[in-house]
Structure 1
Amino acid sequence: MTSWLEFSTAVPSLAERVKARFSAAESHVLATLRRDGAPRVSGSEIAFRGDEAYVGSMLDARKARDLLRDGRFALHAAPAIEEGGDAKIAGRAVAITDLAEITRIQGPEPTHLFRLEIEEAVLTWVEGNTLLIESWHPGRWVRFARPDNGPVVPTVLG
């Protein structure tokens, strides 16, 4: 798994743009897995504290129960492709159980807190008539261009 620090060290320009998209709005769409494996989407906020990224949840909320059972997640920033792009991250959410750490990050109210481990980051935007997509997985960073709605042209960036 990759921490936010490791992701931002590996691909700083992409991490900065992804973080900017998530910081531009308060609420985003979190996808989790229900007990039967079906997807569930919930509103969620992301917090960047120090070198980590976190999501919180009210106690015993469905999204928290989903993440406690199966930490896989996808988080989609509030869409604004014309305003810096469309950002998504996916990976595993790790429950924080230390009350002092939860209080430091979320405040004194009882809550669930999850540190996000990044397995994928994607930023999509438009320049002129070209759709651009940067996709990162540990060890692989690729940009895809789709000029004039034509064939995809990949470029390996790292």
Structure 2
Amino acid sequence: MATWQQFADAAPDLATAVRARLTATKHHVLATLRKDGAPRVSGTEVDLTEDGHLRLGSMSQARKGNGLKRDGRFALHANPGDDSMHDGDAKLSGIATALPGTGPDDTFELDLREVVLTTVENDELVIRLWTPEGGAREIRRK
């Protein structure tokens, strides 16, 4: 797993494009797991900190936060906005860890296992992906 900064250092061009998707709109979609293993999706906001971490918050006792405390696996789909295929469709997955806090709400740091950006270029589907183990690669399909 990796921090946002480790990902950005390893794949700077991909990180720049994914960051653009994460900052283009405020609200994104987070998938977590229910107790029975079924998926749950929730709206969320993410924050890229100055020290290179990706974080999200949850109101105290919200199902989203409680689910992440129980099982930190997540998938985050960046809101594609109005022109998603031009700028790309970004998805990130990994493990969320609750940070100690002083307030009533929960904050989670997101450790990345995979980052994917999907675009269409010249009538080709272009999938750019990165994992800590495999680094960055690109797949093109007509």
TM-score normalised by the shorter chain: which range applies?
Answer: over 0.9
C-alpha contact (below 8 Å) 1:126/1:132 kept by paired residues: yes
- In structure 1, give the amino acid aligned to 2:94: G
Paired position in structure 1 for 2:24 = 24
CA deviation map 1:55-86 (0-9, x unaligned): 10111100000000000000001124234100
C-alpha contact (below 8 Å) 2:28/2:79 kept by paired residues: yes
Secondary structure at 2:84 match in 1: coil
Q: CA deviation at 1:98?
A: 3.7
CA deviation map 1:95-136 (0-9, x unaligned): 00142xxxxxxxxx6311000100000000011211100011
Higher relative contact order structure (alpha carbons within 8 Å, sequence separation ≥ 6): 2
**How far apart, in 2, do the equivalents of 1:116 and 1:139 lie?**
17
Over aligned residue pairs, what C-alpha RMSD do you find?
1.1
Paired position in structure 2 for 1:88 = 91
- In structure 1, give the amino acid aligned to 2:42: S
C-alpha contact (below 8 Å) 1:30/1:44 kept by paired residues: yes
- In structure 2, give the amino acid aligned to 1:143: E
Point out the more displaced range, 135-144 or 113-122: 135-144
**How far apart, in 2, do the equivalents of 1:43 and 1:113 lie?**
15
**How far apart, in 2, do the equivalents of 1:83 and 1:56 lie?**
29
Please, which runs of 5 or more residues in structure 1 have no aligned partner? Answer: 100-108, 148-158
Q: CA deviation at 1:139?
A: 2.9
Secondary structure at 2:41 match in 1: strand
Paired position in structure 1 for 2:105 = 111
Paired position in structure 1 for 2:118 = 124
**1:134 and 2:116 matched:** no
Structure 1 residue runs of 4+, over 6 Å off?
A: none
**How far apart, in 2, do the equivalents of 1:137 and 1:52 lie?**
16
- In structure 2, give the amino acid aligned to 1:69: R
C-alpha contact (below 8 Å) 2:101/2:107 kept by paired residues: no
- In structure 1, give the amino acid aligned to 2:131: H
